[in-house]
Structure 1
Amino acid sequence: MIKNNIKIQICIGLVLLSYNIHAQNMVSMSSLHPETDTAGTDKRELAIRYPDLRQFGVSATHFGYSDFDAKLNDADFAGGKIRTERINTFFNTPAVKWNGNSLSASINYTYTSTELKDISNTLPDQELTPLTRDKSNFDLALNYSRSAKIFNHPIIYSLVARGITDGVNSFRRFNLNGSFNLPLKKTEYTSFSVGLLVLIDPSAPIPVEPIINYYHKFNSSGIELIVDLPNGVNLKKEIAKNAWFKIGSNQRSYTTFYDRHNAFLDGKVSYNTIELKSGAAFEYLFAKNIILTIDGGFNSFLSAKLFKDGENYRNASFDSDNKGTGYVNVGLSLLTF
């Protein structure tokens, strides 16, 4: 049984990895599930199915220690243990709609506490020291989408402009992504669409990647299959009234900014990780519009890089191999639909 579970987790991870998945800070769920494409689908049902479509949410995540080995300019630099604690909040504004157009905004806040310990340095003249750092980021996005027709077939175009800052006076990074989505099938229990996403972001592994959205509810078992690439793959089942159990893998990207002045990092830098969480979750809807989420599992690091100003994903001077670790998360979210 344990071996089968491991195989399932590996398969899901490989599927996601094959799409070079990344992106809480690069991809907006509004571009993948625009409100202009919800005709005939209950908004409340969609928000229960896709957590990022809810109007407000707050969560706290605890991670175990992870071993890491870092390289600086392709040379072995340092190793040790790293642990991260995060608090995330988001708010999605109601959409303004007109003539097939939809405009909305989203605000994300992330508090990150990072601890380094048991450091072993390889380069004698450049030393990484144990430390604990607390940082905050604000992520602001403007989401525009339009539904239209091409060759008599519906198509949804989306554009997301995003700015990330570690303070209230300046933005440290601007990202832009555009996408189109072709709905191919929509029935009472099944929906399927495909598309393409273009990313303008220095921390993105590739500039273009596919979008695949597939949903199916199996009537005999009540199990829901939710394929939402590049974000995740999940199986979900209602186990009691207003209570659901879910297993799957979901990815996110995180950015933390630092101002460092030493021998190997001089100036403004950003630490970017692409992480894949595989595990189980329990969700319970109470007080009509509030959802409690408790989940945990294994967190894998698909990428961990430190960028200086002017560097991108392919030429980042600092690259770290972070091992996976366990995680536990508790969150509350608001539907208000």
Structure 2
Amino acid sequence: MIINRAKIQVFLLCFLLLSCAMQAQNMISMSSLHPGTDTISAGIKELAIRYPGLRKFGISYSGFGYSDFDAKLDDRDFASGKIKTGRISTFFNTPAVKWKGNSLSAGIYYTYTSTMLKDISNKLPEAQLNSLTSDKSTFDLALNYARSGRIFSRPVVYSLVVRGITDGVNSFRRLNLNGSINLPLKKTENTTFSVGLLALVDPSSPIPVEPIVNYYHKFIPSGLELIVDLPTGINLKKEVAKNAWVSVGSNQRSYTVFYDRHNAFLDGKVSYNTIELKSGAAFELLFAKKIMLTLDGGLNSFLSAKLFKEGENYNNASIIGSNKSAPYVSVGLSLVSF
């Protein structure tokens, strides 16, 4: 199938602008975007180098500078100040069990979040926000199922992911479900292209359905790689030495922290959700054959910052924050394959 490269590039640019407005979630499992039965995939190790979320294990630390914020409570000016975050994140992806076009695997995620608020200016006398430092843990378990098939003689991949999220103290605080359908359109030695749809059942999701675009192209002879992995990110990557790469791009993720609050404006279990866009540069080095060192930094932008009471969703959150961008640095180690 011949696809006009210029048309693809224009389409991807327009889709990137749309994707930034849609604000993808970290509740989207990489198994929904790259199922284990994907019929256009390269080798497992090559895919894991290309897409960090497909690696078998990873641990990273991210530090962020202070960001100015303004918050509204029920559409009224509530408070302003400065917020700073630090995160330690780990994940483990189990090997997939495969049979007759089916694939079953699991992912385990843990995030430790340190949050600091200072220089608080309150706007409502009946609702006061105070300076604080909080340290919270979030655990996330995902079960991933995928199946390959054919539609009109063309390959198609379906996936279903069930995720349970908890703070490690209570039972699961949130259950999410996402499913996808992927249609591989092109595969050559240096180019792959697929499209699809992703459905989200998640109270923190801005929209219930998102398009999927996976486009990879290696430019010859420069060796520059274009990696489009929407709705999660777009990156340019180049191998600068044997087993060493540099990349620049933007990648979206969201984070959840659970609290129990009992005061004049919050009574009971609440969750603080942010949707963030990291834009910057990264350096990766593969050593000991399967271990990847990652160093990256740049600017972290907040596309959304909302606090939900139980029963609330993205459209009726009690507290809505407007957080300014802040610099970040990250360091991590990951296991590319077993």
Q: C-alpha distance in 2, partners of 1:262/1:168? A: 21
Q: Offset of 1:38 from its aligned partner? A: 4.9
Deviations 1:128-160 (A, max 9, x none): 000000000000000000000011111000000
Q: Using the TM superposition, give the Cα deviation of residue 167 of structure 1 relative to its aligned residue in structure 2, in angstroms.
A: 1.0
Does the C-alpha gap of structure 1 residues 150 and 248 become closer, same or farther in structure 2, counting only changes over 3 Å? same
Contact 2:144 2:159 in 1 (8 A): yes
Partner SS for 1:205:
coil
For residues 246-303 of structure 1, the C-alpha deviation after alignment (integer angstroms, 9 at most, x for no partner) is 0000000000000000000000000000000000000000011100000000000000
The answer as to 2:3 corresponding to 1:21 is no
SS of residue in 2 equivalent to 1:37: coil
Question: Which residue is equivalent to 2:269?
Answer: 268
Alpha-carbon distance between aligned partners in 2 of 1:16 and 1:186, rounded to the nearest angstrom: 24
Q: Which amino acid aligns with 1:115?
A: M
Matches within 5 A, 1:1-337: 14-18=17-21, 20-24=22-26, 26-38=27-39, 41-167=42-168, 169-337=170-338
Q: Is the 8 A contact 1:249 1:278 kept in 2?
A: yes
Deviation at 1:14, TM superposition (A): 3.3
Change in CA separation of 1:125 and 1:169 when aligned onto 2, cut-off 3 Å: closer
Structure 1: which amino acid aligns with 2:305? A
Asked if structure 1 preserves the Cα contact closer than 8 Å seen for 2:37 and 2:101, the reply is yes
Taking only the aligned residue pairs, the percentage that are identical comes to 73
**SS at the partner of 2:314?**
coil
Q: Is the 8 A contact 1:78 1:122 kept in 2?
A: yes
| One-letter amino acid of the counterpart of residue 215, structure 2 | Y
CA contact (8 A) 2:32 2:198 kept: no
Rounded to whole Å, the distance in 2 between the matches of 1:107 and 1:277 is: 23
Which amino acid is the alignment partner of residue 17 of structure 2?
Answer: L
Alpha-carbon offset, residue 35 of structure 1: 1.8
Instruction: Encode CA deviations 1:6-42: one digit per residue, 9 max, x unaligned.
Output: xxxx999735314x13211x11101111121156621
Return 5+ residue gaps in structure 1 as ranges: 1-9
3-state SS in 2 of match to 1:16: helix
Deviation (angstroms), 1:329:
0.2
Distance 2:139 2:197 in 1: 27
Contact 1:36 1:100 in 2 (8 A): yes
Deviations 1:203-241 (A, max 9, x none): 000001100000000012100000000000000000000
Change (3 A) 1:180 1:273: same
Contact preservation (8 Å) 1:161, 1:175: yes
What value does the CA root-mean-square deviation take over the aligned residues? Answer: 1.4
Q: Give the TM-score of the pair, scaled to structure 1.
A: 0.95
Query: Do the aligned partners of 1:12 and 1:233 also contact (CA within 8 Å) in 2?
Result: no
> Which amino acid counterpart does residue 30 of structure 1 have in structure 2?
S
Work out the CA distance in 1 between the residues paired with 2:245 and 2:137: 32
User: For the Cα contact (< 8 Å) 1:61–1:86, is it kept in 2?
Assistant: yes
Deviation of residue 336 (structure 1)?
2.4
The letter for the 2-side match of 1:98 is W
Letter in 2 for 1:218: F
Paired letter, 2:226:
L
State the aligned residue count: 326
**One-letter amino acid matched to 1:329:** S
Deviation of the 1:125 alpha carbon: 1.7
Q: Name the CA distance, whole Å, in 2 between partners of 1:255 and 1:304.
A: 10
**Stretches of 4+ aligned residues off by more than 6 angstroms:** 10-13
CA distance in 2, matches of 1:279, 1:11: 20
2:45 is paired with a residue of what secondary structure?
helix
Does the aligned pair in 1 maintain the 2:236–2:249 contact within 8 Å?
yes
User: What is the CA-CA distance between 1:190 and the residue it aligns to?
Assistant: 0.2
Q: For each residue in 1:37-92, what CA deviation from the matched residue of structure 2 results, as whole angstroms up to 9, or x when unmatched?
A: 15662110000000000000000000000000000000000000000000000000
